[in-house]
Amino acid sequence: MTGLLILLLFLVAGNLLQSQLDSPVPGSIIGMLLLLVFLMIRGRAPESLSQISKTLSPLLPLFIIPVSVGIVTQKELLAENGIALLVIMAVSIVPGAIVCAAIMKFRRKRDAE
Amino acid sequence: MLNELLHMPLFWAMLTIAAFTVGQHIYRLLGNTAFLPPILTGIILVSVVLEVTGISFDTYMDGGQYLHLMLGPVVVMLAVPLYQFIHVMKKEWLRISLAISLGSGTTVAVAVAMAHFWIGNDPITVTMSTKSVTTPVAVTVSEQLGGVGALASAFVIITGVFGALMIPPLLKSVKLDDPKAMGLTLGVCAHAIGTSRAIELGNQQAAYSAMAMTLTATLHAVLLPLVM
């Protein structure tokens, strides 16, 4: 339970900071960054946190299903733009993938020399 | 009685868990194929039930919100793998940072530009910007930016399926397919679904993909609200 409490503590802190600073970055992201800083200062992850992470990670997709089902409210938009959206998503992967892999490979070649 | 059941919040929470479980079984049955992740099956099943019963999304969400509530803690939890990866990437931090920021920046810029000039609908364009971010972060950021959470989730999942399909043959065809490049690219462009594809390819691919996915999500979650 300590692990979950840590997560909620940082989430609440993140949300509070977000509203106080009127930040465009979501509270949960601020909470995550705060937790990251905490872990870096501490030097290792508490056992309870690793434990809750192992428990919750496989369930992650489950927690996203409800909001995703909201797609049923977007039928008109999808009927109108569905094909265009699919093409955009397929096409936009290609340049990004090549840039990404080229940078990784470029350095590797130089390392080998 | 049926009507009562269909308006019971707990029923919809239960149905969502059931749909996800069915999705997991189908996924395993098909040999963990990246093309039908359990989340996709779950969404389709719940959506079909809503369509058939004529129950509104709002009524569904009376029950769905209990699961949705966990999204916040789960996003905070991403700090744990992120912390481990920061350790791993120390050696090659410059090339990894460049590959992740420029690679993900390119794919998002192309998608946003195409959506802007082709469709020209602002909520869609804004939502498109979160397409390369892992779903829990995409939904959160997209709603913050004035996009549509449900669309963000759909874009992310479809991008992930396309990426898992396209990236391995694409990188092979341009001879950029060494394990680190392949893993990193799958994580940057196809997030969690790409990572499940990377797991099939090997350990190094899997590790680089998981790291890239987490770093991309963090980078975009912080930058997109400031840029868009």
Please write the tens of the pLDDT for every residue from A52-93.
988 888 888 898 889 889 888 888 888 888 999 999 999 999
| Domain limit, last residue, from B26, B46, B69 | B69
* DSSP string across chain A: -HHHHHHHHHHHHHHHHHHHHT-SS-HHHHHHHHHHHHHHHHSS--HHHHHHHHHHGGGHHHHHHHHHHGGGGGHHHHHHHHHHHHHHHHHHHHHHHHHHHHHHHHHHHHHH-
ipTM for the predicted complex: 0.87
Same domain assignment for residues B216 and B124: yes
How many Å apart are CA A90 and CA A108, to the nearest integer?
28
Q: Say which of B68, B119, B221 has its CB closest to residue A81.
A: B119
Report the pLDDT value the prediction gives residue B63, as an integer from 0 to 100: 95
What integer pLDDT is reported at residue A94 of this predicted model?
A: 95
Give me the pLDDT at residue A107, please: 55
Residue B203 sits in the same domain as residue B90: yes
DSSP 3-state assignment of B35? Answer: coil
pLDDT score of B2? 86
Domain end residue (candidates: B48, B69, B90): B69
Instruction: Judge whether A81 and B127 are in contact, CB under 8 Å.
Output: no
Tell me the average pLDDT across A29-35. 91
User: Same domain, yes or no, for B95 and B197?
Assistant: yes
Per-residue model confidence (pLDDT) at position A37:
93
Question: B140, A90: Cβ pair inside 8 Å?
Answer: no
Q: Do B55 and B141 belong together in one domain? A: no
Q: Which chain A residues are within 8 Å of B191, Cβ to Cβ?
A: none
Diameter of chain B by CA atoms? 63
Q: Are B131 and B150 members of one domain?
A: yes
- At B72, the amino acid letter reads G
In the predicted model, residues of chain B with pLDDT beneath 70 are none
Q: Which domain holds residue B121?
A: 77-227
Q: Do A62 and B16 touch (CB under 8 A)?
A: yes
B76/A88 touch (CB, cutoff 8 Å), yes or no: no
Residue with tokens 């802007």: B116
CA–CA distance from B48 to each of A70, A86, B124 (Å)? 12, 21, 24
B95 and B159 co-located in one domain: yes
Residues B14 and B121 in one domain: no
Is residue A67 exposed (0-12), middle (13-18) or buried (19+ Cβ within 10 Å)? buried
Q: At what angle do helices B135-145 and B149-173 cross, to 10 degrees?
A: 130
How many residues are given for chain A?
113
- B124 close to A (CB below 8 A): yes
Amino acid code (one letter) for B23: G
For position A1, what pLDDT does the model report?
80
pLDDT the model gives residue B82: 82
> Which of A28, A50, A88 is opposite residue B118, by nearest beta carbon?
A88
Q: Token pair for residue B140?
A: 């959160």
Same-domain check for residues B64 and B83:
no
List the structure tokens of B73: 């803690």
**pLDDT score of B79:** 87
pLDDT at A39 over 90: yes
B16 and B115 both lie in a single domain = no
Closest CA of chain B from A83, distance in Å: 11
* Residue A20 in tokens: 């106080």
Domain boundary, last residue among B13, B43, B69 = B69
Structure tokens at B183: 């893993």
Q: Are B100 and A100 within 8 A, CB to CB? A: yes
Confidence of residue A109 (pLDDT cuts 50, 70, 90): low
pLDDT at residue A111, rounded to an integer: 47
Residues of A in contact with B157 (CB under 8 A): 68
How far B90 CA lies from chain A's nearest CA (Å)?
13
Cα separation, B46 vs B42, whole angstroms: 6
Rg (CA), chain A: 20
Residue in B92, B99, B226 nearest the CB of A24: B226
Count up the domains in chain B and report the number.
2
Whether residue B112 sits in one domain with residue B161 = yes
Name which residue leads in pLDDT, A97 or B33: A97
What span, in angstroms and rounded, lies between the C-alpha atoms of B139 and B58? 17
Is A16 touching B (CB cutoff 8 A)? no
| One domain for residues B147 and B88 | yes
Both B65 and B157 in one domain: the answer is: no
